[in-house]
């Protein structure tokens, strides 16, 4: 088994979950030896998610360690923006980044949307609804994972990143 009870794992779209148990859901599952991870999202302890152990490789990955999280934060200035001019391709790119369950892809999306927003504001335009929605999703997923890894509340992560980059990357 790849994960153990107590592990924090990242699940695409949902975010960070804690593995609470590894169990059979039915007697049929027991006969077929089909185990499930019972997970609870860290942001909604009442919710329960079941993921088949046999299918977990494509759906889950261990959360970043503290060291990996700080290494990612250090690299943020160097991570290329995922710039795409085509409106339809851009939304598809956003969806893929969220589904990919890759923190670096989330950083690239956040950087691109932030730059687009600044550009649009300078032209007297508002941020598009699609950009605003995916910016919020990407930030939520990234900050949730970084917060869990470095031991900070999600709402403090953005400030922590800005402080770190300001102090160390100038």
Q: Per the structure block, which two tokens stand in for 15?
A: 């975010």
Buried b (16+ CB within 10 A) or exposed e, 46-60: eeebebebeebeebb
Q: What is the pTM assigned to this prediction?
A: 0.88
Smallest CA-to-CA distance from 51 within 38, 61, 42, 33 is with 38
Using a pLDDT cut of 90, give the percent of the chain over it.
62
Tokens of 91: 């939304």
Summarize pLDDT for 7-20 with one digit per residue, the tens.
999 998 889 999 99
- The predicted structure's pLDDT at residue 85: 80
Instruction: Determine how many CB atoms are found less than 10 A away from the CB of residue 41.
Output: 17
Binning pLDDT at 50, 70 and 90, where does residue 1 land?
A: low
The answer to whether 45 and 75 have CB atoms below 8 angstroms apart is no
The pLDDT of residue 170 is 58
Residue 169's pLDDT band (cuts 50, 70, 90): low
Cβ–Cβ under 8 Å, residues 106 and 12:
no
Q: What is the mean pLDDT of the chain?
A: 90
Cα 62 to its chain centre, rounded Å, is 12
Average pLDDT over residues 79-90: 83
Task: Give the residue carrying structure tokens 């299918």.
Answer: 55
C-alpha 108/C-alpha 96 separation (Å) is 12
For position 51, what pLDDT does the model report?
92
Q: Tell me the pairing of strands 8-11 and 49-52.
A: unpaired
pLDDT digits (tens, 9 = 90+) for 19-56: 999 999 888 887 888 899 999 999 888 899 999 998 88
What pLDDT is attached to residue 113? 92
pLDDT in tens, 88-133: 888 898 999 889 999 999 999 999 999 999 999 999 999 899 999 9
């Amino acid at each position: 088994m790849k994960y153990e009870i107590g592990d924090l794992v990242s699940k695409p779209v949902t975010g960070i979950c804690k593995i609470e148990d590894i169990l059979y859901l039915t007697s049929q599952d027991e006969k077929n030896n089909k185990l499930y991870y019972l997970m609870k999202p860290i942001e909604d302890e009442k919710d329960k998610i079941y993921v088949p152990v046999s299918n977990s490789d494509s759906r889950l990955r261990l959360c970043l360690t503290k060291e990996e999280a700080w290494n990612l934060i250090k690299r943020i200035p160097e991570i290329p923006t995922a710039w795409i001019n085509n409106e339809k391709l851009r939304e598809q790119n956003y969806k893929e980044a969220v589904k990919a369950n890759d923190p670096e892809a989330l950083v690239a999306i956040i950087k691109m949307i932030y730059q687009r927003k600044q550009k649009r504001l300078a032209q007297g335009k508002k941020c598009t609804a699609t950009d605003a929605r995916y910016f919020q999703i990407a930030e939520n997923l990234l900050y949730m994972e970084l917060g869990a890894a470095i031991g900070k509340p999600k709402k403090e992560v953005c400030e922590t990143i800005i402080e770190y980059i300001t102090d160390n990357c100038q």
